[in-house]
Amino acid sequence: MINRLSAIKATLPEGVALCAVSKYHPEEQLQEAYDAGQRIFGESHVQELVRKEAALPKDIEWHFIGHLQTNKVKYIVPFVSLIHSADSVRLITEIDRQGVKCQRRVPVLLQLHMAQEETKYGFTIDECRDFLVSGKWQELQGVELRGIMTMATNCDDEELWRREFREARRFFEEVKHCFSGGTPILSMGMSHDYTIAIAEGSNMVRIGTAIFGER
């Protein structure tokens, strides 16, 4: 596992951050990756994240990458470093409310829905643009908008992934002046498509299987 982790890290260009997606993998595996220097871990279930956060070193940056239910926001807001999957205005409103309660601005990415599948969560580009143009996000005290996240359609058509990543990148460039808190983040690319995502401008990849093996 450590060999796979270092091999992937060695191929990432400078400026591309690695979120090691550790969902369903036991604490021991995360600790091993931590001991090898990995600090950013991505989880997609609230209960599992809360359990791991309590058990593992305090300087880990925990990223939440899965669909987040509004009633569970409060459990992760006190410690989460980045929520990749803000997929509705309603969810953002709740993250804001909980962030204010904890006296913190929670770093958040807006999840774009590029994929063809009906079931995927996220804003379409038009919905996301409307939200940003409305300027309502400027009133948020408990949320800091840091960038965009997207997933390509789940299929094996590399050219489709490329087109979707390219479209997300174009939109990211259009709206990135809205983001604050450092270099704007474009989170795209998983085990099977991260090299394409990076070629299309991703600066944060979320890699699970290629590091930790099958779940």
Ligand X SMILES: *Cc1c(COP(=O)(O)O)cnc(C)c1O
Q: Which residues bind ligand X (CB under 6 A)?
A: 21, 23, 44, 65-66, 151, 190-191, 206-210
CB of 145 to ligand X, least distance (A): 18
* Min separation Cβ 161 and ligand X, Å: 13
**In sequence order, which residues have a C-beta less than 8 Å from that of residue 24 and are 6 or more positions away?**
48, 215
Q: How far apart are CA 95 and CA 73, in angstroms?
A: 6
Cα(first)–Cα(last) distance of the chain, in Å?
13
Q: Which amino acid is at 128?
A: C
Q: How far is the CB of 16 from ligand X (least distance, A)?
A: 15
Residue 167 makes CB contacts below 8 A (sequence gap 6+) with 114, 125
- DSSP E strands in the chain: the ranges are 17-21, 40-43, 61-64, 82-86, 106-113, 143-151, 185-187, 204-207
Our CB check for ligand X shows the closer of 65 and 132 to be: 65
Smaller CB distance to ligand X: residue 42 or 184? 42
Is residue 165 exposed (0-12), middle (13-18) or buried (19+ Cβ within 10 Å)?
buried
Closer of 143 and 188 to ligand X (Cβ): 188
Q: Which is nearer to ligand X, 107 or 208 (CB)?
A: 208
Nearer to ligand X, 29 or 97 (CB): 29
Of 4 and 39, the one with the shorter C-beta distance to ligand X is 4
Give least dist CB 4 to ligand X, A: 11
Report whether 193 contacts 208 (CB < 8 A): no
Give least dist CB 42 to ligand X, A.
Answer: 7
The CB-of-138 to ligand X minimum distance in angstroms stands at 27
Write out the two tokens for 211.
Answer: 């590091």
Q: Which amino acid is at 8?
A: I
Q: Please give the residue whose beta carbon sits closest to ligand X in the complex.
A: 208
